[in-house]
Amino acid sequence: MSGGYRFPSDEPLARQVRFTFNERELVGLEGEPIAAALLANGVRTIRHDDSTGEPRGVYCGIGHCFECRAQVDGVNGVRTCLTPLREGTRVASVAQWDVAKK
């Protein structure tokens, strides 16, 4: 897996799947949280703050803070720490959130 941020293991924990983040193809483990797969691939910034432009990533990791939200398969505002990874998942950073569509 790219990035080398996983613990080495002789036995696979789960089936490897391909997904994209901002149109870059990555590999993760099926069923793991998208945020964990991004971190394992060295991605620390998932989005930028709507007001300040500062980078945001995983903060609480349990769905309370909304810092890790992204567009997942065309749906805006998805918390990546709570969403399981599947083959072909498309994840993208979104600069502005359309509140009416949430």
Domain ranges in the chain? 16-94
CB 28 within 8 A of CB 87: no
- The angle formed by the CA atoms of residues 68, 8 and 30, to the nearest 5 degrees, is 45
Task: State the fold for domain 16-94.
Answer: Ubiquitin-like (UB roll) (3.10.20)
- What values do phi and psi take at 33, rounded to 5? -60, 140
- For the segment 56-82, the average pLDDT, to the nearest whole number, is 95
Q: Does residue 8 have a pLDDT over 50?
A: yes
**pTM score, two decimals?**
0.83
In sequence order, which ranges of 1-102 are alpha helices (DSSP H)? Answer: 34-40
Q: Which pLDDT does position 69 carry in this prediction?
A: 96
According to DSSP, the residues that pair with 27 across neighbouring strands are 18
Q: What is the pLDDT of residues 29-42, one digit of tens each?
A: 999 999 999 999 99
Q: Which pLDDT does position 100 carry in this prediction?
A: 41
Q: Is 6 exposed, middle or buried (0-12, 13-18, 19+ CB in 10 A)?
A: middle
